[in-house]
Structure 1
Amino acid sequence: MKRIMLWAASVLLVILFVAGMAVWYLYHSAEQTASTMYQEISPTKVEYVSKDTEVKKTPAQATKSAQTAKAAKAASVPIKRLEPFTVLVLGVDQRENDRGRSDTMIMLSVNPIKHSILMFNIPRDTRTEIVGHGTTDKINHAYAFGGVEMSIQTVESFLDYSIDYYVKVNMEGFARLIDLIGGVQVDNPFSFKYDDHTFKEGHLSLSGTEALMYARMRYDDPRGDLGRNTRQREIVQEIMDHASSLSNVTRLHSLLGEIGDSVKTNITFNEMKKFVTDYRPKIQDIETVEIGGKGQMINGIWYYIVDQSERTRIHNRIKEHLQDGV
């Protein structure tokens, strides 16, 4: 009997050891994949003016001062305090031998203290200064001219607000991500056809490829690019609603393995884990807003014109949302 018990205990130890090694492998593999996705931004020496301080700073100085202020603030509160932050999501339509343009630009303001996320699109045809390029153009051209760095600097200037993190996603990787989480559910307000695929009016279950087509259509939408932006936000919200499934290390490993080659971000693996385990359970509401403006032809090119009062309104919405008070 003792021999049988000893044998059983030995088998149990082997099973636990193998299981532990498997979990370690998945965790280590996920961490390695995340490291290939990580890409820090290297701001160029372009002056960025903060209207809150009326002091000119280079992006590097602005980032450093923001980090210093954030560290000082964190030191004065309990260690479990979760700080608000901003994220710029760039959906990039890349082509062979061509950097491409940012087909989608979505800004997220995340505040776990208020249990909410504020989300809005920046219309791709928005006319603004392209910081570091010396031109005034459509905001999505910033990526074509100077990649992620110029996109961030241009959006920061446009909103007069700093961006903490970015996530750049190739649109095909976006489709693979949706397939991995089991597809998305949307409520389509009207029937339309895109690339020989018909999207009926009503509640739809979409695969990754279908969701990509659904998010891209704009010419048959009565609201044009604004209608497309609404569909994009709906899909992004669906993806975030599925984020709780990533708490399992196997799912996290599978996700990163599938999309790692399509994503670049300055979010570290440890931050990813913290966002999923600590931040996501606190988010109870996702509020969406829209940047108002009007279409205008300038020198034969159609632009979306956002006046200064609207830019100030959006700036104030972000600032208010990121404040500590409820």
Structure 2
Amino acid sequence: MKKLLKLLLFIVAFIFVLVLLANIYINNIKKSNPDNELTLADLQELSKTMNDDRINILLLGVDSLDGSQNHANMRTDTMMLLSVDPKTKTAFILSIPRDTRAEIEEYKYKFNKINSAHSIGGINSTLKAVKKLLNVDIHHFVKVDYQALFKTINDIGGVEVDVPMDMNYDDPYATPPLHIELKKGLQLLDGEKSMQFLRFRYGYANQDLGRIESQQKFMTSLIKKVLSVESATHIPQYIDTFYKYVQTDMSITDMLKIASKCIDIKPYNIKKEVLPGEAKTMYGTSYYIADPEKSKELLDTLLSGNYYISQEMQDENSVTADGENSTDTANVTNAPKIPYVVILNGDGRQGLAQRAKDLLFVNNIEVQDSANADNFDYEETVVYYTDDEILAQNIATILGVNRITQENKAYYGKPTDILIVLGKDFVK
């Protein structure tokens, strides 16, 4: 059951609510028939009842913060298009800046910021506006009140986030009143602090795009925490949260069918993009203006699934017994190879490698292996790199160390792209 739960929890990489629904379904099955657990084979069988057409789901985070479903004066604070393609085993999440200028049929002046569509005409108005903006079909929607995240974050004991700047802002007229006070740096955020982090949007140098980047990093950290084994103990709380704070047009069966089609999609085949465009002031109002040509080009690429990376390429271009490249790589494009990163604890302090691994993870750098070094007398942390000096420098900055060295290093005979030996100077 744990293996299946972790499999279903993988869906959180696509959308928070998929996890909730899958857990609800499993939990109900277990209560009604404890001897008949849902298995991977059951999901694979369920998958046969559904075709392989692409599924587009509009994900909305609303700013009511009270669980109300009344759309009046409720704007969407976060908007993303999740698209899953079972045929190419790829998916993408396209973030749509909240200030994007879009045509809203129900609005008397025709054009407005896309985040206002919900307050003007509810979910139907939002769906039509997004469909017209992107020129794609929207098959389903999921609307989540931020209070769902607030409650779940507290349930799981907080989320570790690297806050990029001091965040200070007060708005007594917001609903509810907004008070943000966060210090820069890596820290564990509870539900209240997480809401402050997610709602802060006035200090980023590149405005809404900077905020989207921070939100994506936050979700990466949240995903990691939800995927942990101990998260299974919070299923009853998830169920309560779902019924109060989530609205969707999908049934549990719909969600489980979609989950069954996502089993074979690997994390490295999920693209995260932002709608291309730029900030402009029009008629005295600040908008984000989508670039039609670049947007079409990006969507064409995403919808084609031509960024698929096979397992063979992920495992450093493995070859078959006859020396030929595996035929599974036939639809691989020139996508960059995911670097092989290894961390070794050269100081002996317990949890040191895991700490460094977590720091890199929240900055979207995946560490494949970690272990103890050959001894524990390393005074200085060293970041060894083979070719990618920029990545090595980035890692050194994240870890707060200075020394990078170009040198080919192997881990148990396997060449690494980056090998980090942690010394006594690593104190982050």
* TM-score between both structures, scaled by the size of structure 1: 0.66
Q: Which residue of 2 aligns with 1:298?
A: 282
Query: Do the aligned partners of residues 248 and 179 (structure 1) sit closer, same or farther apart at CA in structure 2, a change above 3 Å counting?
Result: closer
1:224 aligns with 2:207: yes
Secondary structure at 1:305's aligned position in 2?
A: strand
* Equivalent pair of 1:116/1:284 in contact (CA under 8 Å): no
Aligned mates of 2:163, 2:209 — CA distance in 1: 15
Q: Which residue of 1 aligns with 2:164?
A: 189
Query: Do the aligned partners of residues 188 and 307 (structure 1) sit closer, same or farther apart at CA in structure 2, a change above 3 Å counting?
Result: same
1:214 aligns with 2:197: yes
Gapped regions of structure 1 (runs ≥ 5): 1-22, 32-76
Query: Do the aligned partners of residues 249 and 174 (structure 1) sit closer, same or farther apart at CA in structure 2, a change above 3 Å counting?
Result: closer
Which letter does structure 2 place at the counterpart of 1:261?
K
Query: Do the aligned partners of residues 246 and 142 (structure 1) sit closer, same or farther apart at CA in structure 2, a change above 3 Å counting?
Result: farther
Q: Which residue of 1 aligns with 2:55?
A: 85
Query: Do the aligned partners of residues 124 and 290 (structure 1) sit closer, same or farther apart at CA in structure 2, a change above 3 Å counting?
Result: same
Query: Do the aligned partners of residues 246 and 85 (structure 1) sit closer, same or farther apart at CA in structure 2, a change above 3 Å counting?
Result: farther
What's the CA shift string for 1:182-218, capped at 9, x where partnerless?
43233333333343522322x3322222222111111
Which letter does structure 2 place at the counterpart of 1:225?
D
Aligned mates of 1:182, 1:81 — CA distance in 2: 39
Pick one of 139, 142, 146 that aligns with 2:117: 142
Secondary structure at 2:196's aligned position in 1?
A: helix
Query: Do the aligned partners of residues 224 and 25 (structure 1) sit closer, same or farther apart at CA in structure 2, a change above 3 Å counting?
Result: closer
Deviation at residue 121 of structure 1 after TM alignment: 1.5
What's the CA shift string for 1:76-114, capped at 9, x where partnerless?
x96587654222111111278744111111122223555
Q: Which residue of 1 aligns with 2:76?
A: 102
Aligned mates of 1:179, 1:273 — CA distance in 2: 26
Query: Do the aligned partners of residues 248 and 172 (structure 1) sit closer, same or farther apart at CA in structure 2, a change above 3 Å counting?
Result: closer
Q: Which residue of 1 aligns with 2:155?
A: 180
Aligned mates of 1:78, 1:250 — CA distance in 2: 31
Deviation at residue 139 of structure 1 after TM alignment: 0.8
Q: Which residue of 2 aligns with 1:268?
A: 251
**What is the 5 A alignment of 1:1-326?**
26-27=27-28, 83-94=53-64, 98-112=72-86, 114-133=88-107, 135-194=110-169, 195-201=179-185, 203-241=186-224, 244=227, 251-276=234-259, 279=262, 282-285=265-268, 286-321=270-305
Aligned mates of 2:261, 2:231 — CA distance in 1: 14
Deviation at residue 284 of structure 1 after TM alignment: 2.0
Query: Do the aligned partners of residues 200 and 319 (structure 1) sit closer, same or farther apart at CA in structure 2, a change above 3 Å counting?
Result: same
Secondary structure at 2:91's aligned position in 1?
A: strand
Larger helix proportion of the pair? 1
Aligned mates of 2:227, 2:294 — CA distance in 1: 35
Say what the alpha-carbon RMSD is for the aligned residues: 3.6
Secondary structure at 1:219's aligned position in 2?
A: coil
* Equivalent pair of 1:86/1:164 in contact (CA under 8 Å): yes
Aligned mates of 1:216, 1:260 — CA distance in 2: 23
Higher relative contact order (CA 8 A, sep 6+): 1
Deviation at residue 138 of structure 1 after TM alignment: 0.7
Aligned mates of 2:50, 2:230 — CA distance in 1: 19
* TM-score between both structures, scaled by the size of structure 2: 0.52
Which letter does structure 2 place at the counterpart of 1:279?
C
Instruction: State, as a whole percentage, how many aligned pairs show the same letter.
Output: 26
Deviation at residue 163 of structure 1 after TM alignment: 1.5
Deviation at residue 30 of structure 1 after TM alignment: 9.7
* Equivalent pair of 2:278/2:291 in contact (CA under 8 Å): no
Deviation at residue 132 of structure 1 after TM alignment: 4.5
Aligned mates of 1:214, 1:280 — CA distance in 2: 32
Query: Do the aligned partners of residues 237 and 163 (structure 1) sit closer, same or farther apart at CA in structure 2, a change above 3 Å counting?
Result: farther
